[in-house]
Amino acid sequence: MPAPDSPGPWPARLDVLQSATGLFLALFMWLHMLFVASILLGADAMWRVTRFFEGYYLFGRSLPWLVSSFVAGIFMLFVVHAWLGLRKFPGHWRQHAVFWRHMRDMRHGDTTLWLVQVITGFGMLFLAPVHLYIMMAHPDLIGPYESADRVWSGRMWPLYLLLLLLVELHAGVGLYRLAVKWLAVGGTARRRLMGLKWGFTVFFVALGLVTLGAYVRLGIEHAPHAGEPYVPTWQRSVS
Ligand code: HEM
């Protein structure tokens, strides 16, 4: 029988839920980056990826509501993960002061990484919902020209630039901390894991920057016709 003032099993259960949602979201973000980067293979390649997610190759026509439903699911996971994370934010100035003193005295890398998680997570709370809402409300406006127009003519690139840095830092540090916490990695393995973490972060930030550059370039070229959707090369009439 647990003591009357014992918190019971719930804090531990919520911890597992936070780790599980974090793991899913971090892996999703890496896949998302690869799909978005399909623009680097050409506009037709990105058009195919977009249609794939709209069920075009399965149902023979585009069903953008499929994308909206998927985005809604990701949005819900994001909210649950953020809510669980907020429990651990230092809420009072006194807690902030204790944390800063603790970090300064310990000079421990993993404690500093925790602060990186708090700051990047806090930033994403404001930026990610803007992007997610647009994707959910306008799933039919995803495509080579549609996305490039949003990035450049729709002035979304500064938000994406900031969000890219926040999300890749947060995902890399998050996965590292998950491995340390649940797989009890220590010693040399821990140092190797840290190297791997930085490798992934640098790779995805670099890929994100090159990809964003490609959307910006296409957006500038297409600006005089902003709003016109992309038509794949094989569907264009020869006149
Ligand atoms: C199912 C959910 C999502 C969908 C369908 C989606 C879709 C897209 C698309 C199509 C783009 C290309 C630009 C555009 O069309 O505006 C993009 C870019 C981007 N998305 Fe998402 N996204 C999703 C979730 C997220 C989440 C949860 C985050 C971060 C918290 C995120 C961060 C970004 C960033 C940083 C870029 C710019 C990437 C770059 O080019 O460097 N996305 N997303």
**pLDDT band per the 50, 70, 90 thresholds, residue 2:** low
- Is the pLDDT at 239 greater than 60? The verdict is no
Instruction: Look at residue 108 and tell me whether its pLDDT is greater than 70.
Output: no
Atom of ligand 1 nearest to the CA of 156: 16
Mutate to test the pocket of ligand 1, among 36, 150, 151 (most ligand atoms within 8 A of CB): 36
Q: What separation in Å is there between the alpha carbon of 7 and the centre of ligand 1? A: 38
Q: What is the pLDDT of residues 30-59, one digit of tens each?
A: 999 999 999 999 999 999 999 999 999 999
3-state secondary structure of 34: helix
Give the model's confidence band at 20: pLDDT under 50 very low, under 70 low, under 90 confident, else very high. Answer: very high
* Higher-confidence position of 71 and 97: 71
CATH topology for the 12-227 domain = 3 helical TM bundles of succinate and fumarate reductases (1.20.1300)
Question: What are the residues whose beta carbons fall under 8 Å from the beta carbon of 14, sequence distance 6 or more?
Answer: 84, 87
DSSP state of 229: P
CB burial string 144-170: b at 16+ within 10 A, e below: bbbbbbbbbbbebbebbeebbbbbbbb
Give me the pLDDT at residue 59, please. 97
Q: What is the DSSP string of 99-137?
A: HHHHHHHH--HHHHHHHHHHHHHHHHHHHHHHHHHHHHH
Residue 46 burial class via C-beta count within 10 angstroms: exposed 0-12, middle 13-18, buried 19 and up = buried
Is 174's pLDDT higher than 80?
Answer: yes
Q: What is the mean pLDDT of residues 195-209?
A: 96
Question: pLDDT tens for residues 112-165?
Answer: 888 899 999 999 999 999 999 999 999 999 999 999 999 999 999 999 999 999
Residue ID of nearest Cα to ligand 1 atom 29: 128
Q: Which of 78, 150, 160, 222 to mutate to test the pocket of ligand 1 (most atoms within 8 A of CB)?
A: 160
CB of 207 shorter than 6 A to ligand 1: no
Q: What is the pTM of this model?
A: 0.92
With contact defined as beta carbons under 8 Å apart, do 122 and 161 qualify? Answer: no
Distance from the alpha carbon of residue 200 to the mean position of ligand 1, in angstroms: 18
The reply to whether ligand 1 has any atom less than 6 angstroms from the CB of 37 is: no
pLDDT value at residue 100: 73
Query: In the predicted model, what is the mean pLDDT of residues 59-77?
Result: 98
Q: What share of the chain has pLDDT > 70, as a percent?
A: 95
Whether residue 70 has its Cβ less than 6 Å from ligand 1: yes
- Domain boundary assignment for the chain: 12-227
Beta carbon of 217 within 6 Å of any ligand 1 atom:
no
Q: Which of 183, 237, 211 is nearest to 36 (CA)?
A: 211
CA 32 to ligand 1 center in whole angstroms: 7
CB neighbours of residue 79 within 10 Å: 14
147 CA: nearest ligand 1 atom: 15
Residue with the two structure tokens 């090369």: 233
